[in-house]
Structure 1
Amino acid sequence: MSIQNNSGDTAKYRTAAAIVGQALTQATALVVPGMSAAAICTYTDKLLETLCASVFRKETTERGVAFPTTVSANRIIQNYSPTPEDDYILREGDVVKIDASAHIDGYIASAAHTAVATNSPSDIVTDRRADAIAAAYYASEVAAHMIRPGQSARNLVKALGLVASGFGCTVAAETFTCQIDRFVMSGKTAFANRFDPDILVPDVTFEAGEVYTIDCTMSTGSGVARESAHAPTVYQRDVHHQYSLKLRSSRGLFSEVCRRYSVFPFLMRNAIGTNNALKAGVGECVRSQLLVPFTVTADKEPGDTFVAQFKATVMCHHTGPIRLTHALPMPNVRSSTDIPHESEIGQILALDCEQAALPELPRLKNQVPAPIPSQHPNHNAAATSMDIS
């Protein structure tokens, strides 16, 4: 679907981008030692829902969270939105990735940012955490600059690999650049950002009117993703699959999911609510492929491995790329690696990349209360599992 001549569609993309930007800014401010990852996720999702409800109020359109907020620390790559029982309390020095997404009438904007949990924000991080964060940040900038008519997916993947190797990092597996469409988070064009000699990068070029989300995730380790010890909490309906469920609990759960959620992913704990009997139906719904879980993955390398992420939503305009979700300032890090202006990556960064003019959001009458960090950040029941043994 081309949006270049439809100002209404563009306005909804921009509004969703403004909402995600405000929520991500406020969520990033919560990245301090002692803060609960679950609390940040809950707060950000509530803020997204509240902001979405405050716009286009004369239209009876669907709007809200397009993918539940995730807060993944250190070696965790993606999809960690913990239950209170599986929570993680941030610790001094943690590399924390916050990924947020919202939609207005099915027009989606997604963004992610990495911050370092610290009580001394003026201190400059110079170790391997800096390499991962800088690599992910500049990879995101490079990718955004390359979403222009005639540029190819293969060149983009090559450029991301160059950025990663320059900082002594690797592109994390199972992270993608996806064309998005109305109510579709992964459209007709989607490809892995990590080069794999066994998987051919599609021979496609970007076209004016397309919109992409670019997930640039870098690791100081191997970048190879494996299933973590954390159970999935994010699920999505497979609207193309049908099955006659046998268990009463499964039928009840799936009925509740269909009633409350459309095509977008959701948190299972929200679907179950206080009806604990529905938990017994999760297994059959997954086995029958009616519900698809999003696995919480981590870098397979043990030890001090750090993963950083930056994500952007970019429109391919006939004049060049237009970045819908604005980048937040890079954390206070200093890598030993520089990008020379005359290098291939430096030349890409020198290209034009327009920042979209985003609408001013209404002031909320009822503010969403922000969570408060724990007074005992070292008492962390989930610390071992978050580090991934």
Structure 2
Amino acid sequence: MSDIESDQEKQNLAEEKSEEVKNEESLFDPTLKKKKKKKKTGAASNNVDSTSDGKLIQTEPPSIPVSKFYPDGVYPEGEICEYKNDNLNRITNEEKRYLDRMQYDDYNDARRAAEVHRQVRKYAQKTIKPGMTMIDICDLIENGTRTLIEEKGLEAGIGFPTGCSLNYCAAHYTPNAGDKTVLQYDDVCKIDIGTHVNGRIVDSAFTLTFNPVYDNLKEAVRDATNTGVRESGIDVRLCDIGAAIQEVMESYEVEIKGKTYQVKPIRNLNGHSIRPYQVHAGKSVPIVKGGDQTRMEEGEYFAIETFGSTGKGYVHEDGECSHYSKRHEVGHVPLRVAKAKSLLNTITKNFGTLPFCRRYLDRIGETKYALALKNLVDSGIVESYPPLVDIKGSYTAQFEHTIILRPTCKEVVSRGDDY
């Protein structure tokens, strides 16, 4: 810097240099504030933005992995609930506390998956609007999940295909390639999202509507799901949870087009236990009374989900299948079709026993696989999950949370500010 520069010029150059240093440092230290650049019209901002106190804020669409928000690798707990009756003993019992600490890594994996779920669904709830295709909706959610969770083979990624079942279709619908379905103002859309880290799956769902006429239907199911979460616990009988859920859901009515409906639980849909890389792990949590007397056990993970309907409250399979998963513990099955063998290897490598859909096969480059996939299903190696529907003209809603029955407490790991 020459001696003839003015004091003002010196000051301006110093400020510019300081800003350059800060921007370089912020690439390595996310806690440092980076100057917020004006976002170009029509383009998504990929900058790592921060608030005035240096705290990171997520971009829109989401582009910052959750690991950047928690550089120490410790992810936030979900909602912590005490168990009924023996809660004080479990909280203070040193043996239980030791068992709890031993499972910390598993809990932390689930919490990381849950934080991704919360951030992705927050953007989805804000962004999804009538006029969007179902494929665009799923791409929005799944691309966000892959980015935020830092997808890495079977170590971290999507837990199962994004469900976006509409109206009388209650579950297991995600669009296949070429599906032109467009979301409408009067639709009732169930958004079911799965995330996982090291096989610890977070399964959580909500219902999206735009017409306020469906508000009571949504509230009935949300209340019923929260009842199921509240009633769940170590040594609790599954049938007792179902009875409590049914009582709450059936206390609601909804008026649609001048007709009043009692909200009915869909009696052949259930919550379920979850194990690593296994969404449905054997135990079913009914949403009506009369279920079996099997009990929940310490250390188990459960997806507590309820479905309400203005129809019969009973679903059956109908429509083009999109959901599949490789069966657990299937022994060697001879395959004569070469393409089926190749497809099975692809499924095992990319998804293991996690559910997948046809769009995911398309994405990894598989082509002309329809007959091979059918062969794997017919051979009992792969399970197919067609859409589940109530009667046409009815409306169905869903809410779901993942809970962990820890030795010391119950953790609703997927709980958020939204539901």
Structure 2 CA distance for aligned equivalents of residues 188 and 4 of structure 1: 23
Paired residues for 1:1-389 under 5 Å: 4-5=100-101, 6-53=103-150, 62-117=155-210, 125=212, 127=213, 129-167=214-252, 168-195=262-289, 201-229=291-319, 231-241=320-330, 242-273=332-363, 274-299=365-390, 301-303=391-393, 305-318=394-407, 320-329=409-418
Structure 2 CA distance for aligned equivalents of residues 288 and 3 of structure 1: 42
Structure 1 CA distance for aligned equivalents of residues 405 and 359 of structure 2: 37
The structure with the larger Rg is 2
Structure 1 CA distance for aligned equivalents of residues 138 and 99 of structure 2: 31
Residue aligned with 1:85, SS: coil
Structure 2 CA distance for aligned equivalents of residues 160 and 98 of structure 1: 21
Amino acid at match of 2:210: A
Structure 2 CA distance for aligned equivalents of residues 327 and 275 of structure 1: 37
Give the Å deviation of 1:319.
5.0
Structure 2 CA distance for aligned equivalents of residues 320 and 42 of structure 1: 36
Residue aligned with 2:380, SS: coil
Structure 1 CA distance for aligned equivalents of residues 154 and 357 of structure 2: 21
TM-score, with normalisation over the residues of structure 2? 0.69
Structure 1: state its 5+ residue gaps: 119-124, 331-389
Structure 1 CA distance for aligned equivalents of residues 227 and 209 of structure 2: 22
Give the Å deviation of 1:308.
0.7
Residue aligned with 2:207, SS: strand
Give the Å deviation of 1:44.
1.1
Higher relative contact order (CA 8 A, sep 6+): 1
Give the Å deviation of 1:36.
1.2
Taking only aligned residues, the RMSD between alpha carbons, in angstroms, comes to 2.3
Give the Å deviation of 1:318.
4.6
Structure 2 CA distance for aligned equivalents of residues 184 and 3 of structure 1: 23
Structure 2 CA distance for aligned equivalents of residues 263 and 61 of structure 1: 10
Amino acid at match of 1:238: R
Query: Is the CA contact 1:148–1:318 (under 8 Å) kept in the aligned structure 2?
Result: no
Structure 2 CA distance for aligned equivalents of residues 247 and 45 of structure 1: 32
TM-score, with normalisation over the residues of structure 1? 0.74
Moved over 3 A (4+): 272-275, 317-320, 327-330
Query: Is the CA contact 1:3–1:209 (under 8 Å) kept in the aligned structure 2?
Result: no
Residue aligned with 1:48, SS: helix
Structure 1 CA distance for aligned equivalents of residues 333 and 298 of structure 2: 40
Query: Is the CA contact 2:206–2:398 (under 8 Å) kept in the aligned structure 1?
Result: yes
Query: Is the CA contact 1:96–1:117 (under 8 Å) kept in the aligned structure 2?
Result: no
Most deviating of 40-49 and 204-213? 204-213
Give the Å deviation of 1:98.
0.3
Amino acid at match of 1:310: F
Structure 2 CA distance for aligned equivalents of residues 24 and 174 of structure 1: 27
Structure 2 CA distance for aligned equivalents of residues 63 and 295 of structure 1: 26
Query: Is the CA contact 2:142–2:162 (under 8 Å) kept in the aligned structure 1?
Result: yes
Residue aligned with 1:276, SS: coil
Q: Deviations over 1:97-122 (max 9, x none)?
A: 1000111111111110111136xxxx
Structure 2 CA distance for aligned equivalents of residues 244 and 9 of structure 1: 36
Report the equivalent of 1:351.
none
Give the Å deviation of 1:25.
1.6
Query: Is the CA contact 2:176–2:358 (under 8 Å) kept in the aligned structure 1?
Result: no
Amino acid at match of 2:375: E
Structure 1 CA distance for aligned equivalents of residues 359 and 187 of structure 2: 26
Residue aligned with 1:53, SS: coil
Give the Å deviation of 1:327.
4.3
Query: Is the CA contact 1:83–1:269 (under 8 Å) kept in the aligned structure 2?
Result: yes
Q: Deviations over 1:293-342 (max 9, x none)?
A: 1111111x233x11111000112245543211114536xxxxxxxxxxxx
Structure 2 CA distance for aligned equivalents of residues 165 and 61 of structure 1: 41
Distance 1:184 1:278, change over 3 A: closer
Give the Å deviation of 1:182.
2.1
Distance 1:61 1:93, change over 3 A: closer
Query: Is the CA contact 1:174–1:225 (under 8 Å) kept in the aligned structure 2?
Result: yes
Give the Å deviation of 1:188.
4.5
Query: Is the CA contact 2:311–2:395 (under 8 Å) kept in the aligned structure 1?
Result: yes
Structure 2 CA distance for aligned equivalents of residues 3 and 310 of structure 1: 31
